[in-house]
Chain A
Amino acid sequence: MNIIGLYNYWIVVVLMMIGFYVVIAHENLIKKLVGVSIFQTSVFFFYISMGKISGATPPILDDHYQLYSNPLPHVLILTAIVVGIATTALGLALVVRIQEAYGSIEEHEIQDQDTQDQMESRLEAYGFRKKHVLSVQNLDE
C-alpha cells in the first residue's frame, strides 16, 4: 500500500491548483464558480484521504468488523460540502443579477462599464449631469 505513499496527496494538490488557477485566471464569472467548486472539492478529497486506513471499513459499527476509517474528517467534510453548495448558490444568484445589470458576465467587460460609471461620477463631481442608468431593481419592485 505504501507504494503510493504521498501520491494521493500530490494528485490532490494538482487538482487544487487547477481549480485555483481557473478561479483567478479566468474572467467568466460562471467559470470562476466552477473553479471554486473544483478547488473546494479537492480540499474535501484531501480531508477524506487522511481519514482512510488501509483495509478498514466505513465507520458504521458492526460486529463483523474491527477496523474502521476515521469518522471525524467525514463529518467535517459533510459540513464543508454544505458550505460549498451554499456559496455556489449565492454566487450563481449574483451572476444572474450581474448579467441583468451589465449585460455581460465577463470580468473585463464589467470593469469597462464600471470605469465608465466612475468617469461619469467624476464628471458629475465637477458639475456635469449623470446619465440616467436603468437598473433592474426598478423593474423588480
Chain B
Amino acid sequence: METLIDIVLLSFLVLTALAVAKMHDLFAVVMLSGIYSLLTASLFLDLDAVDVAFTEASVGAGISTLLMLASLKLVGRYETRTRYRPMLALGVVLATGALLIYGTLDMPHFGSADAPVHQHVAPRYLNDSMGEVGVPNVVTSVLASYRGYDTLGETLVVFTAGIGVISLLRVSRRTKQQEMQKVPADMQQQIILRVVVKWLLPLILIFALYVQFHGDYGPGGGFQAGVIFAAGIILYTMLFGLSNASRVFPPKLLELLAALGVLLYGGVGIVCMLLGGNFLDYNSLRHDPVHGQHLGILLVELGVGLTVAAVMITIFFKFTWRTVKHKYLEK
C-alpha cells in the first residue's frame, strides 16, 4: 500500500515539476510549486518524517507561495517567451544527472534497514536519547540538543534573511505616514472571511503555542510554531489591513523580537558555559541533567519560535509596504 502511494505521489511530482518548467503564467507556476511542496510534504509523511512534512507544508506550500504571490503582485504575472539557449543548460543538467545516477548505482536500496545510515550515529539517538535528553520526539532531541548548534545556525539564517529583506525593501517613514490611513486591505470586501477569521484567529494562535510547547512529544517545535503564528498574523493583515496589523506589531518591535530570539538561544548557551558546561550543554542548567535538558530545549525552542515568527511577519510586512509604495507612486 505504502509503495503504491509512493509511486502515485512520485508520478504526480514529476508531472507537476514538468508543468512548472513548461508554463509561462507565473501565477500558475507559483501555485503549482505550492502543490509540489504539498505533495512532497505528503510523501515525507509517508516516509515517517512527520516533523519535516509539517514544516514543508507550512513553509513550502504556505509562506513561500505567499511570498511569491506577493512579489508577483509587484513584478507582473507573465513570463515573456524569449530566446532560450537551452542546449548548454541541457548539457549541464544531463551531465549532473548522469553523475547522480552513477552515484545511485552503489547506494543501499531504499528502505533497507541495514544501510550504513542506520548503523552508525543514529542508533544512539534512538536508544539513548530517552535517558540522556528525556524527550520522546527524537527529532526534537537531536534538533535542539545533540545538534543544537546547527539549529542556532538555522535561527541565525532566518535572522539573516530578515535583515536582508528589511534592508532591500525598506520604505521611508514619510511614505508610510502619508499612506497608512488610506490603504484598504487586500480582501476588505470579503465580509464572510472577516467574520470567520475573527473567530479563527485566536484558535490559530493558540495552535501555534501548542505546537511550540508540544514539540517534545509530537511533531512540531519552535520553527513550525513561529511559522503558524506568523501565518495567523498574515491572515489578519490581509483581511484587516496593514495599518491595523502594524499597530500591533510595529517594525521596531518585530526587529527587536527577532534579535531577542537569537539572543535567547545564544544566551542559553552562554549560561551553560558560565555554569561550567560547554556551550549549549544543557546538562549544567539544573542538577538533574534531564531536567536541564528539558529547560534548555524549552528555552531554545522559544528563541527559535520568536525569531521565526518575527522575521516571517516582518518579511510579509515589507512586501506589503512595497505594494503600498507602488500605489503611492502611481498616484
Interface residues of A (CB under 8 A from B): 1-11, 13-22, 24-28, 30-31, 33-35, 37-38, 41, 44-45, 48-54, 56-62, 67-79, 81-90, 92-97, 99, 105-106, 108, 139-141
Q: Which residue of A lies closest to B94 (CB)?
A: A17
Give the docked Cα–Cα distance between A50 and B137 (Å).
Answer: 19
Pair A139/B17 contact, Cβ less than 8 Å? no
Q: In the complex, how many angstroms separate the beta carbon of A105 from the nearest chain B beta carbon?
A: 5
Known: A78-B52, A85-B59. 16 other contacts (CB 8 A): A6-B107, A15-B17, A20-B92, A25-B89, A27-B82, A30-B26, A38-B33, A45-B40, A69-B47, A78-B55, A82-B59, A83-B157, A85-B63, A90-B168, A93-B164, A106-B79
A72 surroundings in chain B (CB, below 8 A): 117, 121-122, 125, 142
A15, A34, A54: the one contacting B30 at CB < 8 Å is A34
9 pairs, CB–CB < 8 Å, chain A vs chain B: A2-B111, A4-B3, A9-B104, A9-B107, A20-B92, A59-B138, A78-B139, A92-B319, A93-B165
Cβ of A58: which chain B residues have Cβ within 8 Å of it?
48-50, 219
Q: Which of A7, A48, A62 has the most CB of B within 10 A?
A: A48
Would you call B49 and A48 a contact (CB within 8 A)?
Answer: yes
Q: Is the CB of B93 within 8 A of A21?
A: yes
B56 touches A44 (CB 8 A): yes
Contacts of B168 in A (CB 8 A): 90, 93-94, 96-97
Name the prevailing secondary structure of the A interface residues: helix
**Contact assessment for A140 and B110 in the assembled complex, using a CB-CB cutoff below 8 Å:** no
B40 nearest CB across to chain A (Å): 5
Chain A residues closer than 8 Å to B55, beta-carbon distance: 78, 81-82
A80 → B minimal CB distance (Å): 9
Does the CB pair B139–A90 fall under 8 Å? Answer: no
Which residues from chain A contact B29 at a C-beta distance below 8 Å? 30-31, 34
User: How far is A70 from B108 in the complex, measured between Cα atoms in Å?
Assistant: 14
Instruction: Write the chain B residue with the least CB distance to A45.
Output: B40
Query: Do A26 and B136 have beta carbons less than 8 Å apart?
Result: no
Contact check, A139 vs B329: say whether CB atoms are below 8 A apart: yes
Interface-central residue, A20, A27, A92, by most chain B CB under 10 Å? A92
A18 touches B17 (CB 8 A): yes
**A4-B3, A25-B89 known; A83 vs B109 contact (CB < 8 Å):** no
Which residues of B117-164 are within 8 A (CB) of A? 117-118, 121-122, 125-126, 129-130, 136-139, 142-143, 147, 150-151, 153-154, 157-158, 160-161, 164
Given contacts A1-B3, A88-B64, contact A96 B75 (CB under 8 A): yes
**Which residues of chain A have C-beta atoms less than 8 A from B117's C-beta?**
50-51, 70, 72-73
| Bound form: Cα–Cα A9–B107 in Å | 9
| Nearest chain B residue, comparing its CB with the CB of A88 | B64
Q: Which of B169-177, B249-257, B288-296 contacts A (4 or more CB under 8 A)?
A: B169-177
Expressed in whole angstroms, the minimum distance between the Cβ of B246 and any Cβ of chain A is: 18
Whether B14 is near chain A, meaning CB under 8 Å from some CB there, is yes
Contact A99 B75 (CB under 8 A): yes
Residues of A within 8 A of B192 (CB): none
Say yes or no: B71 contacts A48, CB within 8 Å: no
Q: Which residue of B lies closest to A30 (CB)?
A: B26
B113 CB-CB contact with A under 8 Å = yes
B108 CB, min distance to chain A CBs, angstroms = 8
The interface bits of chain B over 303-327 (1 if a CB of A lies within 8 angstroms of the residue's CB, else 0) are: 0000010000001001100100000
- Inside 8 A of A5's CB, which chain B residues have their CB? 109-110
State how many angstroms separate the Cβ of A59 from the closest Cβ of chain B.
4
A52 touches B111 (CB 8 A): yes
Top 6 nearest A-B pairs (CB, nearest first) are A86-B161, A25-B89, A69-B48, A54-B111, A59-B138, A28-B79
B contact residues around A108 at 8 Å (CB) = 82-83
Q: Is the CB of A81 within 8 A of B56?
A: yes
Contact B56 A105 (CB under 8 A): no
- Measured between alpha carbons, how far is A27 from B84 in the docked complex, in Å? 8
Complex CA gap A108/B21 in Å reads: 19
Closest to B40 in A: A41
Please tell me which one of the listed residues A16, A25, A52, A70 contacts residue B86 in the complex, with CB atoms under 8 A apart: A25
Interface flags for B32-63 (1: CB within 8 Å of A; 0: not) read 01001100100110011111100110011001
> Please, which residue of chain A has its CB at the minimum distance from the CB of B10?
A11
Q: A51-B117, A89-B67 are in contact. Are A31 and B107 (CB under 8 A)?
A: no
Contacts of A48 in B (CB 8 A): 43-44, 47, 49, 52
